[in-house]
Amino acid sequence: MTPGLYVDLAIPVALDKLFTYIVPREFHNAVKRGVRVLAPFGKRTVIGIVVDTSTTSQIAPKKLKSIHDILDTEPILSEELLSLSKWMAEYYFTPLGEVFKAILIRGATRAGKRIVKINIVDNDKINKAFRPDSKQSVIIKELSRRKSATITQLQKNIGIKSLYTSLNILAREGYVSIEEILPTTRLKSKSEKIITLDDLTKELLQTKIQALSVPPISKKIQPQIVALKTLQSIDENFISVAQFLRQTGISLSTIRTLARKGMIAISTREVIRSTDDDHGESYLSSQQITLNNDQQNAVQNIQKGIQSGSFQTFLLYGVTGSGKTQVYIEAIRDVLLRNKTAIVLVPEISLTPQAVHRFKYHFGEKVVAFHSRMSSGERYDAWRLACDGKYSIVIGPRSAIFAPLKNLGLIVVDEEQESSYKQFDQTPRYHARDVAIMRAYHNNAVVVLGSATPSFESYANAMNGKYTLLELPERVDNAKLPLVEIVDMAAERKRKLSLLKQEPSTEPTNTPAMMKPRKPELSSISDLLKNKIEDRLQKKEGIILLQNRRGYSTFIECPDCGNVEMCQNCHITLTYHATKKHLRCHYCGAVKAPPEICPKCKSADIKYQGFGTQRVEEELEKIFPSTKMIRMDLDTTTRRGSHSKILRNFAEGEVDILLGTQMVAKGLDFSRVTLVGVISADTQILLPDFRSSERTFQLLSQVAGRAGRSTLPGEVIIQTYQPHNSILKHVITHDYKSFYDEEIQYRKELNYPPFSRLILIEFRGKIENDVMRDATIFTDLLKNRNSHFLILGPSSAVISKIRGLYRWHIILKDLKSKDPSGKILHRVLTKTLEIFQRSPLRRRKAVKLVIDVDPVGMM
Ligand code: ADP
Ligand code: ZN
Ligand code: ZN
């Protein structure tokens, strides 16, 4: 062990270890945990984050390299976010550097361009403060020649690499200012030029006007006098130059001349980029609200939790429309009174503007949104100002859980059962609800999980006392839960077919030949639903229709040979999109033209099967030709703001039918909706996933909850080919608890969560044999050291290929009764991974291994 100063760095590479570096003497005072440093890494220079500092090193210093420089004066990651990151790295089997990549805003871990500008050139002062041969003096000398330079330019001109620490000192003392431009986007704070108009300046304006007004007044002087007089009349403390020029028609050269003469002072001011895309959203009620008894009780309990200043988790189980959001709002009011801050997670980006709007109504400028559809500039501003304490409420989808708020008092996870809280496609594969609980734990803060249909995991935790259960069993204002009716589509089909036999076919003749079905195609809309829609259209009440499949036909099939068009890269059927007239893969995005004849048997009788939203829309247009309707699914809402616009049109009654995928099931609160129709309840029931019943119940209850939220009573029509499925029985009675009691039995019998913990290990690669081999080697290694948990597989995944990569799965099932904390599983898996990484047998390059802890999808 050699004394000195050493740092352990997390570097954003896929290697699961920290890297030790020497800290040169000159940086000893500046280095601390959570700052970014520049360090040599192979042939590159990378940004690393200091995770630990130490005065001794296990490795001989001869073998260590030195860091080049330190980038931050203040840690970019607080101690609290550092320890949360460490937990995530360990729990989700992810390198710490990759966790940081997820936590920090994009670009922060890549070397950015920095521009240094000189502020004061008081040579005496500088000579006093720094020795003439010091780096600081050299920098100032160089900068006084060129006024501003990037750090790279400075390094080159001065011939010294490590300048950051000296620059940071100069910046702290105000000699220079450093602007960081993040690399991906040229990110920097936005500023504008302003003319200062404080009282003193204004007083002096008069003398200046007099000075100028000595006759003869030239043509050049005249506009200058006008400008000064106009400035005199302005009430504000400053005015932006651009605005001044625009409003007065005075020219820029006049202003410049005045500035040069020292008659006015121009400076720069930072402008905060607005994060609103909810301008003019007027559909949310904003009247004064008095909480009902259940709400009050919930708020009081949460307040007590906040007051106690210790970690606690509440499950706010309240039926749809029971006023959960109002409870969050009152809880946050309390948090702010205690000078603490809050994060509110919403399940989807598209719901963020609505939520922001509602919270801003109560908390104004303290609220900020945080999501990936914001421009990089907006994100940067939001991040920085949340850090600085200007914002105290951050709202957004899952990544908002990493908002750098200080003094966190409360985290709300709205619709906590939503699977969108899980990052499933990228490392770290975290679940924002679980991270929220850990973050609250580190902060002694309170978590409120809200739901009308809690996840089984959370409800079980409420039952076993880990969480405190708060209930809102009734809708606010005596609104009743809607009446739910089931339509048996099989019976409907039989009835319609027998009718058709009696009548000659009325099939329209303009259907293209390739789409002409052999058997008569029946409408996806039952007579009952059709009648109900007609009735609401007459009354001008709102209608929401759910079909949880986008596109036109969900698959196309040849009835002669059974061939189904599949994606070449993925083991999945292609969806026909009528708008673009092509087949598209919803996994990899590949498109191709639909075949005119069956590629296998050359039959011309290809059938377009399954109803996507586009097809339902087309049918509705035929049945109700003059009705305004709007479709909302991934295909119509990718543009920023498109989602808000759709909802506004619907809220204001310009549109009568809102048709869409699960997007229409969530969060919408429109009092004019009195009818909800589910075109097919069967889209999820049959999926080979142990959560498919739970998801179906959630989706149907959620969408049903959109109806009758106010004085007008609501009605729900659910169409299905499985009218006797017991899930539906519980949906009709709005009885979550009895559904839970029934379904939890299956979970118990089959040892699924919440009775066990699952880890999904995926192997993927181009050559299936390699994939299978690695999966088998890994399974054998695991079996050798395990006696505690169940190992299922290896086996080919349900979707055996995605984007050209074959997939094999191993599922680990760890019973909570045997391994309550999951430590045993964790230890065994860590060890196995270590051995496997070193194994000479594995196909290192050809096969990628992905670990998904607590997976939400198993296919
Ligand atoms: P949830 O989140 O449970 O679906 P919301 O909080 O959105 O319910 O409340 C539904 C509607 O009822 C909203 O329009 C809200 O403004 C209103 N609301 C909530 N609490 C009350 C109350 N105590 N009295 C009257 N209206 C309320
Ligand atoms: Zn065929
Ligand atoms: Zn594909």
543 pLDDT more than 70: yes
Of all protein residues, the one whose alpha carbon is nearest to atom 18 of ligand 1 is 323
pLDDT digits (tens, 9 = 90+) for 344-356: 999 988 778 888 8
Which residue type does 34 have? G
Higher pLDDT, 639 or 781: 781
Ligand nearest, relative to CA of residue 597: 2
pLDDT digits (tens, 9 = 90+) for 730-742: 999 999 999 999 9
Q: Which atom of ligand 1 is nearest to the CA of 290?
A: 23
Which residue from 315, 326, 329 has its CB within 8 A of the most atoms of ligand 1, so it is best to mutate? 326
- Three-state secondary-structure class, residue 171: helix
474 pLDDT more than 50: yes
Cα of 798 vs centre of ligand 3, distance in Å, is 14
Residue with tokens 């409360």: 410
Q: Quick one: three-class SS letters along 811-822?
A: EEEEECCCCCCC
Which residue type does 811 have? I
CB contact burial 26-65 (16+ within 10 A = b; e otherwise): ebeebbebbbbbbbebeeeebbbbbbeeeeebeeeeeeee
Percentage of residues of the chain with pLDDT beyond 90: 48
**Residue 141, both tokens:** 């000398």
Q: Strands of 446-451's sheet, edge to edge?
A: 367-369, 393-396, 341-345, 408-414, 446-451, 312-318, 468-472
Residue with tokens 């789409």: 515
Ligand nearest, relative to CA of residue 361: 1
- Average confidence (pLDDT) over 253-272: 80
- Residues in CB range of 376: below 8 A, 6 or more apart: 105, 106, 107, 182, 184, 185, 187
> Are residues 469 and 316 in contact, defined by beta-carbon separation less than 8 angstroms?
no
pLDDT given for residue 121 in this prediction: 66
Q: Which atom of ligand 1 is nearest to the CA of 292?
A: 23
pLDDT given for residue 118 in this prediction: 81
Cα(714)–Cα(320) distance, integer angstroms: 12
385 pLDDT more than 50: yes
**How many CA atoms lie within 13 Å of 477's alpha carbon, on the beta-carbon side?**
13
Cα(379)–Cα(359) distance, integer angstroms: 19
Cα of 30 vs centre of ligand 2, distance in Å, is 72
Q: Which residues pair with 315 in a beta bridge?
A: 449, 469
Torsions phi, psi for 178 (to 5 deg):
-115, 125
487 pLDDT more than 90: yes
pLDDT given for residue 284 in this prediction: 43
Q: Which atom of ligand 1 is nearest to the CA of 291?
A: 23
Of all protein residues, the one whose alpha carbon is nearest to atom 8 of ligand 1 is 323
pLDDT given for residue 283 in this prediction: 36
Cα of 574 vs centre of ligand 3, distance in Å, is 8
479 pLDDT more than 80: yes
Of all protein residues, the one whose alpha carbon is nearest to atom 19 of ligand 1 is 323
Percentage of residues of the chain with pLDDT beyond 70: 92
pLDDT given for residue 107 in this prediction: 58
Cα(127)–Cα(285) distance, integer angstroms: 64
Cα of 134 vs centre of ligand 2, distance in Å, is 82
Cα of 588 vs centre of ligand 3, distance in Å, is 4
Ligand nearest, relative to CA of residue 603: 2
- Average confidence (pLDDT) over 73-81: 88
The binding-site residues of ligand 1, defined as CB within 6 angstroms of any ligand atom, are 285, 289-292, 295, 318, 320-326, 476-477, 669
The full DSSP string for 4-72 is EEEEEEE-SSS-SS-EEEE--GGGTTT--TT-EEEEEETTEEEEEEEEEEEEEESS-GGGPPBP-EE--
Q: Which atom of ligand 1 is nearest to the CA of 322?
A: 3
Cα of 566 vs centre of ligand 3, distance in Å, is 8
Q: Which atom of ligand 1 is nearest to the CA of 325?
A: 6
pLDDT digits (tens, 9 = 90+) for 285-338: 445 688 999 999 999 999 999 999 999 999 999 998 899 999 999 999 999 999
- Three-state secondary-structure class, residue 736: helix
**With bands split at pLDDT 50, 70 and 90, how would you rate the model's confidence at 42?**
confident
The full DSSP string for 387-419 is HHTS--EEEESGGGGG---SSEEEEEEETTT-G
Cα of 632 vs centre of ligand 1, distance in Å, is 24
Report the length, in residues, of the chain. 859
Cα of 666 vs centre of ligand 1, distance in Å, is 15
Ligand nearest, relative to CA of residue 570: 3
First to last CA, the chain: 50
Q: Which atom of ligand 1 is nearest to the CA of 667?
A: 4
What is each CA distance from 464 to 130, 177, 453, 458, 467, in whole angstroms? 65, 56, 18, 10, 8
Residue with tokens 């001008």: 540
> Are residues 258 and 224 in contact, defined by beta-carbon separation less than 8 angstroms?
yes
**Residue 98, both tokens:** 């990759």
- Residues in CB range of 757: below 8 A, 6 or more apart: 813, 814, 816, 819, 822, 825, 854
Of all protein residues, the one whose alpha carbon is nearest to atom 17 of ligand 1 is 323
**With bands split at pLDDT 50, 70 and 90, how would you rate the model's confidence at 460?**
very high
Cα(582)–Cα(593) distance, integer angstroms: 5
Ligand nearest, relative to CA of residue 574: 3
Ligand nearest, relative to CA of residue 651: 1
Residue with tokens 């840690």: 75
Cα of 323 vs centre of ligand 1, distance in Å, is 4
Residue with tokens 């599949």: 566
Cα of 514 vs centre of ligand 2, distance in Å, is 13
Q: Which atom of ligand 1 is nearest to the CA of 328?
A: 6
> pTM (2 decimals)?
0.79
Cα of 406 vs centre of ligand 1, distance in Å, is 30
pLDDT, the chain, mean: 86
Of 623, 491, 511, 485, the C-alpha closest to 578 is: 511
Which residue from 287, 289, 668 has its CB within 8 A of the most atoms of ligand 1, so it is best to mutate? 289
Cα of 325 vs centre of ligand 1, distance in Å, is 7
Cα(565)–Cα(301) distance, integer angstroms: 56
11 pLDDT more than 80: yes
pLDDT given for residue 518 in this prediction: 46
Cα(849)–Cα(774) distance, integer angstroms: 9
Q: Quick one: three-class SS letters along 420-460?
A: HHECCCCCCCCEHHHHHHHHHHHHCCEEEEEECCCCHHHHH
pLDDT given for residue 280 in this prediction: 37
Of all protein residues, the one whose alpha carbon is nearest to atom 13 of ligand 1 is 323
Of 42, 55, 51, the C-alpha closest to 2 is: 55
Q: Which residues pair with 718 in a beta bridge?
A: 486, 678
Of all protein residues, the one whose alpha carbon is nearest to atom 9 of ligand 1 is 323
Alpha helix positions (H), 48-198: 79-91, 96-103, 123-129, 135-146, 151-158, 164-172
Which residue from 325, 709, 712 has its CB within 8 A of the most atoms of ligand 1, so it is best to mutate? 325
pLDDT digits (tens, 9 = 90+) for 819-859: 888 999 999 999 999 999 888 888 778 899 999 999 998 88
Which pairs from 59-66 meet CB under 8 Å and 24+ separation? 59/20, 60/2, 61/2, 61/4, 61/22, 64/6, 64/20, 64/21, 64/22, 65/21, 65/22, 65/39, 65/40, 66/21, 66/22, 66/23, 66/24
Residue with tokens 């309390």: 334
Beta strand extents in 667-789 (DSSP E only)? 673-678, 715-720, 756-765
